[in-house]
Structure 1
Amino acid sequence: MAIKPILFNTEMVRAIMDGRKSCTRRMVKPQPNEKHTYPLGFVTDSTEKKEVGCFGFGINEYSSSIQYTKPQYQPGDILYVRETWGHPISLNSDKQYVFRADKIAESGFKNDSHIWHPSIHMPKEAARIWLKVTDVRVERLQDVTDDDAEAEGCFDYTSTALGFPDIWDSTIKKSDLDRYGWDTNPWVWVIEFERCEKPQGV
């Protein structure tokens, strides 16, 4: 088991807190090259002389030429969510941190009146949401179903309000859309998780 950070935007943090999100898709990097497009599964022991937890892609299921890649997260890992955060405005506050995902982060002010810091800069000690990875698999991005989209925190697959394709593309840099955008149908890690308590001693 490893303890690692994971970033979510404000809407996805709210979905986790509401119990609407139990899954996230993250890019497989590096993407398999054009010849290696057959998923062969995870390395589960050392007989292949590859690190356990790597995933192999081959030309076909019998390929001797295999490209390996490893997900950032493994089943059993504990993740602390990095989210948009700030310090209390009130000098009398007993809180050390406040969070953008809260509709009213602290009594007396609203989100649009506060100075917020990007999630990537959130210190570990500020983490309030902890997740345990329950499963990791690999699939094409466009394999997502309505049920998958719902588990991602979307209302459904095609909803104009929270449609998964649009949400996915909103997380990709504009310069990378031609490589990793929805229309390119890249390989992704499907990471399932459940809420858990903060580990003791962390």
Structure 2
Amino acid sequence: MKERPILFSGPMVRALLDGRKTQTRRVVKSRPWTTGDYFASGEYSTDLGYEASRGEFWAGFRHPSIHPDGSACYERCPYGAPGDRLWVRETWRGVVAINPPGKTTELGVARYVPDQQYCRRVEFQATQARDSEPWRPSIHMPRWASRITLEVTGVRVERLQDITEADAAAEGVESLRNEGEYWKDYLRSTAQCDELVCLNARDSFWTLWDSLNAARGFGWDANPWVWVVEFTRIN
């Protein structure tokens, strides 16, 4: 069993805590010898995936122009295999004692927390009231500050737009008002107005995906290959 870190946005952290999120999709990063045009062309076959004897999941990709002899290239899942664990990194900050020893203890937000022994408590932006104190990016969260651990139960590869309605709901998108009838539009909804909604979970996931990935060139319309990681929350 291996442990790996994984980043989640604030809305998805809340979905994990609420028990709504049991899947995540992450872009399959192409190898240096795989050109972008080929990798996104849709001519690859993903029926070559298999689990190696050591429990790692590998997805096989074959393209007729690159592999005319019937060979294939393989990509190892960076998020592990069933039985492995993922600890969640989220936007956070550490609260420390800011007065010298012997003085009345006063707590304050630290711009940098070098070690767990100096931290009186950890706060999380996803579930904390907004204020002007600084937050640390999720990429800098150490293992000891993480509050959520997930156990991988399944891994597969598919194109982004192959997601089903049930899988979109399992991605943790938020149902609004009438349960299952209206879903959050993550591109247009604000804290002041959630009247702009989607009529199904799949469209809601589309807006969520684009809010996180379109600017990186992996938007819904690009239809990238994605790792589908299924999991259960163990704490």
Q: CA deviation at 1:63?
A: 6.8
Name which one, 1 or 2, has greater alpha-carbon Rg: 2
For the structure 1 residues 56 and 167, does the alpha-carbon distance in structure 2 shift closer, same or farther, using more than 3 Å as the test?
Answer: same
Q: Is contact 1:55-1:68 (8 Å) kept?
A: yes
2:209 aligns to what SS in structure 1?
A: helix
Q: 1:148 aligns with which of 167, 182, 190?
A: 167
Q: CA deviation at 1:77?
A: 1.1
Partner of 1:171: 212
Are 1:101 and 2:126 matched, yes or no? yes
2:19 aligns to what SS in structure 1?
A: coil
For the structure 1 residues 63 and 195, does the alpha-carbon distance in structure 2 shift closer, same or farther, using more than 3 Å as the test?
Answer: farther
Partner of 2:12: 12
For the structure 1 residues 127 and 160, does the alpha-carbon distance in structure 2 shift closer, same or farther, using more than 3 Å as the test?
Answer: closer
Partner of 2:70: 64
Normalized against structure 1, the TM-score is what? 0.79
2:131 aligns to what SS in structure 1?
A: helix
Are 1:189 and 2:227 matched, yes or no? yes
Deviation string for 1:132-164 (max 9, x for gaps)? Answer: 000001111001122111110113698452411
Partner of 1:42: 49
Segments of structure 1 that go 5 or more residues without pairing to the other structure are 198-202
Q: Is contact 2:174-2:184 (8 Å) kept?
A: no
**Distance in 2 between the 1:6 and 1:151 partners?**
18
Partner of 2:90: 83
Deviation string for 1:24-55 (max 9, x for gaps)? Answer: 00011117634851112323347xxxx95221
For the structure 1 residues 63 and 160, does the alpha-carbon distance in structure 2 shift closer, same or farther, using more than 3 Å as the test?
Answer: farther
For the structure 1 residues 101 and 63, does the alpha-carbon distance in structure 2 shift closer, same or farther, using more than 3 Å as the test?
Answer: farther
**Distance in 2 between the 1:145 and 1:195 partners?**
22
RMSD: 2.8
Segments of structure 2 that go 5 or more residues without pairing to the other structure are 31-35, 98-105, 109-118, 187-203
Say which is worse superposed, 153-162 or 13-22, in terms of deviation.
153-162
Partner of 2:148: 129
Q: Is contact 2:96-2:120 (8 Å) kept?
A: no
Q: Is contact 1:22-1:152 (8 Å) kept?
A: yes
2:147 aligns to what SS in structure 1?
A: coil
For the structure 1 residues 36 and 57, does the alpha-carbon distance in structure 2 shift closer, same or farther, using more than 3 Å as the test?
Answer: farther
**Distance in 1 between the 2:220 and 2:63 partners?**
23
1:87 aligns to what SS in structure 2?
A: strand
**Distance in 1 between the 2:214 and 2:134 partners?**
24
Q: Is contact 2:90-2:141 (8 Å) kept?
A: yes
> What number of residue pairs does the alignment pair up?
183
Q: Percent identity?
A: 44
